[in-house]
Amino acid sequence: MMVFFTHCFKKPNLKKFSRYARSSIVFLLLNTASVAFAASSININYAELQPLDDSYALSADIDIDFDNAIEEAVNKGVPLHFLIEFQVVKPWKYWFDDEIVTVSRSVTLSYHALSRQYLVNHGEHQKSFETLDEAKDALMQINNWKVMDKSLIEKSEAYNAALLVRLDQSKLPKAIQVDAIGSEKWNLTSQKYEWALKEANSKELINLKESSVKDLK
């Protein structure tokens, strides 16, 4: 005697499958967006010039964030060198702008494995921190940086100032430099932050208009 079993296949619920597919797509889009927002970035929130006795000093509020790849590189001992570049020009309507001053300085972030400390080096000044977040806050602090003499500013003239911060890729390890070619991951550059200035009678620069930001070209 032979016994036969007949398998009954349930008709798929296309509406339920469609809802599942839509939910999966939404999840993938949200996950992709969260990854995008986690990318490394440098943000200049504001910058201003403040008068001293015989010079002008730059102060700025800057935020910096690293993605997982850059954080991992730092924790493995890869030092990051950043360039902070500042410029003041006198604009001409029918000719090239007249460069008044262009200055830059380097700041370095590194990790010391033996002491488990993050080191921030501003030229000859070095500070150590227990966490990467603390080190990042100190890394982008610009307070009272003397950038130009007051003698360079002419009375009642208008000027444009600009600030830019970028990762110096030329100082990355050679292996990472190769990986950085054509990759956005290591192209860590702020927007170009610009604002207009005018010299007042008291040799103080005043802000002529709201500060603006422009993408680096």
Contact 71, 132 (CB under 8 A): yes
In a domain, 29, yes or no: no
CA 67 vs. chain centroid, Å, equals 12
What is the domain range of residue 66?
40-214
In a domain, 26, yes or no: no
In a domain, 35, yes or no: no
- Measure Cα distances from 50 to 87, 150, 164 in Å: 15, 11, 18
In tens digits, the chain (217 residues) has pLDDT values of: 444 444 444 555 555 545 544 544 444 444 443 444 458 899 999 999 999 999 999 999 999 999 998 999 999 999 999 999 999 999 987 788 899 999 999 999 999 999 999 999 987 789 999 999 999 999 999 999 999 999 998 888 889 999 999 999 999 888 887 776 666 778 899 999 999 987 665 556 666 544 444 543 3
Determine phi and psi for 22, rounding to 5 degrees.
-65, -40
In a domain, 32, yes or no: no
Give CA–CA dist 149/143, Å, rounded. 17
Domain count, the chain: 1
In a domain, 3, yes or no: no
In a domain, 18, yes or no: no
In a domain, 70, yes or no: yes
Q: Which of 167, 170, 163, 159 is nearest to 191 (CA)?
A: 163
In a domain, 196, yes or no: yes
